[in-house]
Structure 1
Amino acid sequence: MTRRLPDLEAMAIFAKVATLGSFAAAAQDLGLSNPTVSKAISRLEQRLGVAVFARTSRRLSLTDGGRALLDRAARILSEGEAAEDDAAEQATSPRGRVRISAPLSFGIGHMAATLPGFMARYPDVTLDLALSDRQVDLIADGFDLALRIGRLEDSSLIARRLCTVRLLLVAAPAYLAAHGRPTHPGELLRHRVLGYSGGASPGLWRFTHPQFGEETVQPPVRLWSDNADLLTPALLAGQGLAVQPEFLVWQELRDGRLETVMADWAPPVLGLHLVMPPSPLRPLRVQAVIDHLAAALADAPWARP
């Protein structure tokens, strides 16, 4: 029995409808008519023998079959666009939209400052940024790349490490003068701390020492926040200790408004990564953003040894 070629066009149209959430939006984005998009989805469903969307008068949602298909269909769309763009743009400058996900505090405090230079160099590239500490699904949510801080889980995504992100235990001189300077993690149980609630284990602080090994403590928290920037005013006002990424507090440390505490006991070292969908083909516009961010962020003042 001769196997038919896969209906790649219908797969790509399905991925676009799933990403944008409507037939009409996909038709507009692809430059197709609404009936063409609808026929492609019907053709795909007939071929697969399952419905990929559940349709009502008000809502369009993926079925179980559609969710199972989306990852591969999104790759077909992404690789097809990348192949065409790569062939068409070899003799031209990058152009088009690039969707980027980044952590909120880091995006505002550090990535934003790198963007004007990129925009001046690549006037035909449109940047679409989504800032959130939530970890997005690059393929399902339609992102070209993401900046992520931390230890990366095993996945099919492609990752490029840009630099090290150190976590530091810090406090204001006024707090240390009033409450003393801890020298061992166990002493933190008697101190006031400010906690970041957005991590994998909120409130659980891990430290390692080159001679004495690892200690884990869970000190009492006076202020919780899922955004580490919010902790800075309380830190500067002497209301407690906090474990903060160096990129948030390096200027306060430089100016003496905060001090590193218990320097021999180090919290886990993290990494700043660029994460991309699992395709070897990327449009020039996306590669231009990757190269720009890699050059700009790897040389950040807080990232230097």
Structure 2
Amino acid sequence: MSELVTGEAVALELRPARLPSRALAVLLDLAVAVAVYVAVTIALVASTSSLDGAAQTALTIATFVLVLVGGPIAVETLSHGRSLGKMACGLRVVRDDGGPIRFRHSLVRGLIGVIEILMTFGVIACIASLVSARGRRLGDVFAGTLVVRERVPFSSGGFMPPPPPWLAGRFSGLDLSAVPDDLWLAVRQYLTRAGQLDSRVGWAMAERLAADVAARTGAPVPREVPPPAYLAAVLQERQARETRRAFGGASTGEGAAPVEPTAPVVPVVPVAPASTAPPPVPPGSPSVPPSVPSSQDRPEVSRHVPPGGRSGTGFVPPA
């Protein structure tokens, strides 16, 4: 692992390519270059058979230089460090600071590669790669380049550790509506890569993220809760609320308890009061005729309710 620091103070973790993968990439590039060189040479010999020997020798040298030296330089320059062999092996040539190479880098690598690869059959290049800590040959040392691996082995990142069980439901009353989405994304990325970070760097990052989340929620981080556990618990609470909002009830607000359905209201039909008997009249009153029949001889009182909604008095005048 090679760690580089850019001008913005960003640490880049580059995986230098080792000798076996680089040797395989060089063999593939040489096989393609030799095949093109042979085809071009046959075409030139067939088309320049009428020339003298000196001209044919000059054309042969020019073809060698253009195909076996200029060809790899042009390919690396145009593809930004990815020749056919390096693409097949998942490699790339970059600068020491991690940036893409330019023509001058490819030119220095190609010219020195003629000596350490073509003329010595790769012996010098192999020795230099074994001695170098980052597997660089002489062309890489003089050009200021590095061959790195683009395809890295798959690691089971993306797994977020769950919060401790004693924090279950601890932050159910927090107001998470003011926390922006980019802060949630930063918390998720930290939790998925917490196991790959340095302990001190990871702890400092967790404290900073926890302080940002607490500032948006308006509640400080409890002292007894570690910052990584706080972030995991708060993120789990947000995911639980999103799940309830999506599947459990659309009317439930952020951080609010679900509303219980109320019982249906049964309409009450008003009942007319029963007819009451007339108030008792004191004996000897002149307003009561003496021939008023008794309650046994009185006809049946109609209990019909008038359309106005009032009940009758039940008094029937004497016959």
TM band (smaller chain): under 0.3
Higher strand proportion: 1
**Alignment TM-score, normalising by the size of structure 1:** 0.23
Higher relative contact order (CA 8 A, sep 6+): 1
* Higher radius of gyration, 1 or 2: 2
